[in-house]
Structure 1
Amino acid sequence: MQQAQKSNKSRGKRLKKSRYITGFDGIRALAVAGVIIYHLLPYNLQGGYMGVPIFFAVSGYLITDLLLQEWEQNGRIDFIGFYVRRLKRLYPALVAMLIGTGAYITLFQRSLLANLRSIIGTNLVYLYNWWEVGHGQSYFDRFNGESPFTHLWSLSIEGQYYLIWPLLLTAMIILIKRKQIIAWIMLAFAVLSAVLMGLLYTGPDNLNRVYYGTDTRMFSIVLGVTLAIIWPATHLKASISNRGRWTLNWMGIGAFVIMGWLYFVLSGQSVLAYRGGMFLMSLASVALIAACAHPGSDVNRWLTNPVFAWVGTRSYGIYLYQFPVMIFYEMRVTNIAAHPLWNALIEIAIICVISELSYRYIENPLRRYHYSELPSAVKNFFSQQSTFGLKRLWVIPVVLLVGICAYGSAIAPSKEAKTALQKDIVKNQAKSARKNKLALAKQKQAEAAAKSVKRQRELLKKKLTPSQKRIANNYGLTKLQYLTVHQQPVTAIGDSIMADTSHDLQTVFQQAYVSAAVGRQIWQASSVIKQLKNKGELANNVVINLGTNSPMTASQIDSVIKEIGPKRKVFWINCHVPTRNWETEVNRTIALAAKKYSNVYMIDWHSYSQGNSNWFWQDNVHPNPTGNTKFVQLVATDMSKVLKIK
């Protein structure tokens, strides 16, 4: 028993020649800061999601460097010891996060219960990324039922790497022996992984396979592995020439500049991100790691300070708890958009507090705990003379949380139950689909009539039929407004807001074709427009309602407007999404596009609906039946001003 305890304790000791490189905490801090800022303020750092490849590269380097040191000192790698250390480091906080989040969902947010059992199970065996490929939503769909577990995909890839790599490295050392050849093989694997990502990328509509797949994301880790083989930390000499020192310094500075540039410019919907962009970020990360690892450079010192040390050592917890905090907070605070920066700071503060508590009371103690002592500790816990004292009371909330999470997992449905809003959207989409065929059949005739000013004037002089009068009254339209728009050929393209209002829209705009989909993003619009143009089905008046589901850039709006063309009128409805921090920026971007293009008109739904919470369902984003009427009233009123006959 004592021998086993001694063996277990030795597994936790640092290797004799191992160096703790403090600058790596700085690199981790830069990575986690990018991810957090991207999720909280996506307009300000649209490439922040690429903090993950930085984490991967650091992990690839550090783990391989330690394994190679162990091989050099002992002539073997202690697989069991390695796996035990990894589990002790990673598992306690992961399990705590899964239990805490699952319990919160069970108690307070049952709309997120769907698939909880599968999500927890696949995370515990580090296969969640592959589950996400088949079941999860896009990482960039920030509105449509965003999950508090989505970000854990990267931990599964890391877990798979920890399981396989020690075995594979040992086999390669024994069979190939020469490190140079092993390094070339690993570099080839990294390039192959990056090429596979580019080949499997088919566009922004279907990102899950390339974004979550182990094979398409492994290049970042493998580049770190390659660096560790050719640039081992314990073999680098501190004594180098001044020229060599500044070569390393400039390499680090250049890498930092490239990483910062990619943080600010490379959107997650960009083709370049998947065909070279993430690979470039990984190369830059490896260059920064190389400069930081060398004891002769100044980069390690530059990246060492108390703030970076605190963030870097707690980066695992910060990454773990970020999504649950953000999603639960934003579900409770209904007007995030009013003060996005203040709310972001509050969320960061909550994440930091929880991460600090996790680090102090879960991660650090359990990483150093000798589990061989567990049986005697349990016996001591239940004995009358227990040394634990009042600390034993902590078992009560722990057992309660585990029980609540287990209950939630047991009752969790495999499919999300439809809410009243979702049922309303489905009903309106079905009605819209029936009317779309009729609308397309009549649009050509209506287009010809619209070109004749004389014909339009004659139409405006007509009296309203009883049915038309009722429609005009229901939607608060004057006779002139109604007659101006009711036979105008219109193509309406949008997301769930458009899907929800589609029936009302086609009631007033009788020649409107509606293409709406729940969760539709700005980067999906161009392909929809292109398909309609190719079929000759894109009307001269195009109504766009996008911006609810995620932030969007000026270049993304430009591409949509250019695809529609300068000869068509574009009516872009801005968004009412107070529960998301991008509302103000999205609406500002739409307003700037309306000023930039003479054929683009902004319909200000945001201002019109302000202060009318009774127009919306419980989410305060989607219009309810009253809101649908007001929505269409605004669209018809604004369009009639532009389309009026002189």
Structure 2
Amino acid sequence: MQQVQTNKLGKRLKNSRYISGFDGIRALAVVGVIIYHLLPYKLQGGYLGVPTFFAVSGYLITDLLLQEWEQNGRIDFWGFYARRLKRLYPALVFMLVGTGTYITLFQRSLLTNLRSIITTNMLYVYNWWEIAHGQSYFDRFNGESPFTHLWSLSIEGQYYLIWPLLLIALVLIVKKRRSIANILLVFAILSGLLMGFLYTGPDTLNRVYYGTDTRMFSIIFGAMLAVIWPSTHLKKKVTNRSRWTLNIIGIVSIAVMAFLYFELSGQNTFTYRGGMFIMAIASTTLIAACAHPGADVNRWLTNPVFSWMGTRSYGIYLYQFPVMIFYEIKVQDIAAHPLINALVEIALIMVISELSYRYIERPLRHYRYKNLGRSIYEFVQRDSEYGWKRLWLIPALLLIGISVYGSAISPTKDPKNVLQENIAKNESTANAHNKAALAKQKKAKKLSANDKRMKKLLKKKLTVKQYKIAKHYGLTKRQYLTVYQQPLTAIGDSILADNSHDLQNVFTNAYVSAAVGRQIWQAGDVLTQLKRKGDLAPNVLINLGTNSPMTPEQINSVLKSIGKDHQVFWVTTHVPTRNWETEVNRTIRKAAKRHSNVHIIDWHAYSNHQNDWFWNDNVHPNPRGNVHYTHLIATSIYNYINQKK
């Protein structure tokens, strides 16, 4: 498809092509990202759509800049920056203002750092702010933000600002395209190596995931392709062999991208030591095949659905997180119908994106801002041609005012609620108890339900304190005496942190390591350190899965850290507000079938429909729920010990 483009000076860019298949590539990328966020179990590598966006941007921008340089002998930098701002800023500003307004009015728990978030996004440095202050992109529960995904827009904004200047410097100094491409290849490789070098585990994930320097290789690959594969220099007439060579390259590229979409988890070490680099290469080769007019790939990726999604992909990407997060906060029972809720969220995202495209992005993209003063003057005139449309000024000013107010009052730290205070208190108590617990564990001997010592203990009366504890947690004398001195290592997230005091009340020798927001891929290091020091108890309790999906491979890795000579009691998750609840529990149960030393403690089934056991989030047990949680753990471990003997 041919389309003539013009630059700011009005000079025509001859032979410039609108490559409709690029809309298809954008569509594939944004579909991957959306499905990943809504149904992470179905497409665990969908987040890799972002490197594809980067590669497309790198190619298109560099290709157009070089066309302008070739035809005009110069580049209108101010014109370029103006076009980029007109394309990107209106929808971004609307999203920031609209989201800030909603948070101020209806979701004040998300007000924290709103001023900094809006400011850094307007300046396109939000990715660096995320590195210093943000949460993991893969933490889908603990304080998830409707702005997290905007990190990639900041990287693109930095690219638009700096790259035109660097490109012309390379053209003037190096001159030869092949030499320029070689230089870019070196920088792409260095960026990829830096990602692998800086990634040392979960603690450095934010740095490599959000960093401009560690993510730039995707954009550089696209730019490099534009230097050696300019769209206006590619011949439509090629041999049949060349055509099918290009087609096969496109097919293989799509196959590689699809494989990575399904297989490459964001917590996999290989993701940052080669996986994402491979995705960038596959995206670039697909762009090359699509850009060539002699191949069929462009035609294959051109259809009305892809065209619609591709042209609106910016808005779809922009509005996805606010819709998902606000919807999932209001609809508490997401896990009961994950697919239906996902379809509703997709519909909302598409409708909002279409409205944004029609009434914000497209009109303001072509608006001549030099006429802004005259437009404002005409707008306020009594006999203005705008008529009733002027009424839109009222809600617009209200939105801006409320958003500014929310930004002004936004705190820089999360105010602690009752649940957070309770978790913090219990964590502190557990930490103080842990040292003594480890010392007791090394001296204690495992007590079975039927050995001679148990018979002696049963003949004695419980102390007043023991009696009260057993009664409080609904335990019989035999159950309590069987478990209270059992060596136990408990590893978990905020659910376990919330319960740690109760757990150590019953299991007096329990060592508890729990942290708010802990993910399954963080547990391995904790367990390995405990085992290396000889502090890992024969019985290990695990409560993970609240904060994100988990894969069988991740569970296997945790179990490998523990070893087959330990008994593992894995607690199923109760997180009805997230769509991964069912899949997490199914994955845990499958692991128990594969490993004879893994035993299920089914907190999900036990607590189902017991809303009065939980705080308002319907996830963390309240004091009453913690009693039931501890009772279930104690009786489950007692039953295992009793059955074994």
Q: What TM-score, normalized to structure 1?
A: 0.97
| AA at the equivalent of 1:317 | G
Distance (Å, rounded) in 1 between the aligned partners of 2:313 and 2:634: 51
Q: After superposition, where does 1:31-430 map in structure 2 within 5 Å?
A: 31-430=29-428
CA distance in 2, matches of 1:475, 1:456: 20
In structure 1, the gaps of 5 or more residues are 1-7
Cα separation, partners in 2 of 1:373 and 1:269, compared to 1, 3 Å: same
- Contact 2:449/2:478 (CA < 8 Å) preserved in 1? no
1:209-256 residue CA offsets vs partner (Å, 9 max, x unmatched): 100000000000000000000000000000000000000000000000
Residue 204 of structure 1 and its aligned partner are, at CA, apart by: 2.2
Structure 2 counterpart of 1:319, one-letter code:
Y
Name the counterpart of 1:4: none
Question: Residues 12 and 201 of structure 1: is their aligned pair in 2 closer, same or farther, counting only changes over 3 Å?
Answer: farther
Q: Which amino acid aligns with 1:433?
A: N
Deviations 1:548-581 (A, max 9, x none): 0000001101111121111111000010000000
Aligned partner letter, 1:110: R
2: CA distance between counterparts of 1:106 and 1:255?
45
Kept after mapping to 2: 8 A contact 1:450/1:488: no
Rate the CA distance shift 1:64–1:117 in 2: closer, same or farther, 3 A: same
Give the corresponding residue for 2:3: none
Alignment-derived partner of residue 639 in structure 2: 641
Which secondary structure does the structure 1 equivalent of 2:600 belong to?
A: strand
Shift of 1:533: 0.5
> Equivalent residue of 1:544, what SS?
strand
Going from structure 1 to structure 2, the CA distance change for 1:69 and 1:9 (only over 3 Å counts) comes to closer
Distance 1:390 1:411 in 2: 34
Q: Structure 1 pair 304/273, CA: closer, same or farther in 2 (3 Å)?
A: same
Native 8 Å contact 1:494 1:515 kept in 2: yes
1:153 CA drift (Å): 0.3
Q: Is the 8 A contact 2:447 2:486 kept in 1?
A: no
Q: Amino acid of the residue matched to residue 274 of structure 1?
A: Y
Per the TM alignment, residue 15 of structure 1 is displaced from its structure 2 partner at its CA by: 2.2
Higher mean C-alpha displacement, 619-628 vs 457-466: 457-466
Distance 1:557 1:58, change over 3 A: same
Q: Please tell me the residue identity of whatever aligns with 1:63.
A: I
Secondary structure of the corresponding residue to residue 124 of structure 2: coil
Per-residue Cα deviation, 1:407-445 (whole angstroms, up to 9, x for no partner): 000000011111110000001111111211111111112
CA contact (8 A) 1:471 1:507 kept: yes
1:286-319 Cα deviation digits (max 9, x unpaired): 0000000000000000000000000000000000
Distance in structure 1 (CA, Å) of the matches to 2:51 and 2:9? 29
Aligned to 2:430: 432
Misfit runs of 4+, over 4 Å = 8-14, 448-452
Give 1:454 shift. Answer: 3.0
1:508-523 alignment, distance < 5 Å: 508-523=506-521
Cα distance in 2 between the residues matched to 1:457 and 1:326: 57
Distance 1:615 1:12 in 2: 68
CA contact (8 A) 1:12 1:85 kept: no
What residue identity is the alignment partner of 2:571? I
Cα distance in 1 between the residues matched to 2:203 and 2:459: 47
Q: Map 1:455-474 onto structure 2 (within 5 A).
A: 455-474=453-472
Distance 1:519 1:287, change over 3 A: same
Aligned with residue 551 of structure 1, among 529, 549, 554: 549
- 1:59 touches 1:224 (CA, 8 Å); kept in 2? yes
Kept in 2, the 8 Å contact 1:12–1:368? The answer is no
Q: Secondary structure of the residue that 2:618 maps to in structure 1?
A: coil
> What amino acid is the match of 1:407?
Y
**What is the distance in 2 between the residues matched to 1:451 and 1:245?**
75
Out of 563, 585, 604, the residue aligned to residue 587 of structure 1 is: 585
Counting aligned pairs with the same residue, the percent is 69
Deviations, residues 33-72 of structure 1 (Å, cap 9, x unaligned):
0000000000010000100000000000000000000001
1:526–1:560: 8 Å Cα contact kept in structure 2?
Answer: yes
Between 439-448 and 147-156, report the one with greater CA deviation: 439-448
Shift of 1:13: 7.4
Over residues 503-559 of structure 1, what are the superposed CA-to-partner deviations in whole Å (9 max), with x where a residue is unaligned?
000001111010000000000111000010111110000000000000000110111
Specify the code of the residue in structure 1 equivalent to 2:286: L
What does the per-residue CA deviation read over 1:392-415, in whole Å, with 9 as the maximum and x for residues that have no partner?
000000000000000000000011
The one-letter code of the counterpart of 1:173 is V
> For the residues of structure 2 that align with 1:299 and 1:580, how far apart are their CA atoms?
38
- Residue aligned with 1:205, SS: helix
Give the Cα separation in 2 of the matches to 1:15 and 1:251: 29
Task: Quote the Cα distance in structure 2 between the aligned partners of 1:393 and 1:370.
Answer: 22
Question: After superposition, what is the alpha-carbon deviation per residue over 1:53-100, rounded to whole angstroms, capped at 9, x for unaligned?
Answer: 000000000000000000011000100000000000000000000000
Residues 1:626 and 2:624 are matched in the alignment: yes
> Which of 528, 531, 534 matches 1:533?
531
Deviation at 1:171, TM superposition (A): 1.0
The answer to whether the 8 A contact 1:11-1:85 is kept is no
What amino acid does structure 2 have at the position aligned with 1:633? H
1:452 deviates by: 10
Provide structure 2 residue ranges, at least 5 long, that are not aligned to the other structure: 1-5
Q: Give the Cα separation in 1 of the matches to 2:629 and 2:354.
A: 46
User: CA, structure 1 residues 531+12, in 2 after alignment: closer, same or farther (shift >3 Å)?
Assistant: farther
Flag the 1:324–1:12 CA change in 2: closer, same or farther, 3 A: farther
SS of corresponding position for 1:542:
strand
Q: Return the letter of the residue paired with 2:392.
A: W
Contact kept in structure 2, 1:34 and 1:50, CA below 8 Å? yes
Deviation at 1:205, TM superposition (A): 3.2
For the Cα contact (< 8 Å) 2:27–2:309, is it kept in 1?
Answer: yes
Distance 2:66 2:566 in 1: 64
Residues 454-513 of structure 1 show CA distances to partners (whole Å, capped at 9, x for unaligned) of: 334433443222211111111111111111111101000000000000000000111101
Q: CA deviation at 1:9?
A: 8.5
Residue 604 of structure 1 aligns with an amino acid whose one-letter code is D
- Tell me whether 19-28 or 440-449 shows the greater mean CA deviation: 440-449
Instruction: Tell me if the contact between 2:448 and 2:482 (Cα under 8 Å) persists in the aligned partners.
Output: no
Deviation at 1:115, TM superposition (A): 0.4
Distance in 1 of aligned mates of 2:380 and 2:137: 46
SS of 1:164's partner is: helix
RMSD over equivalenced CA pairs, Å: 1.3
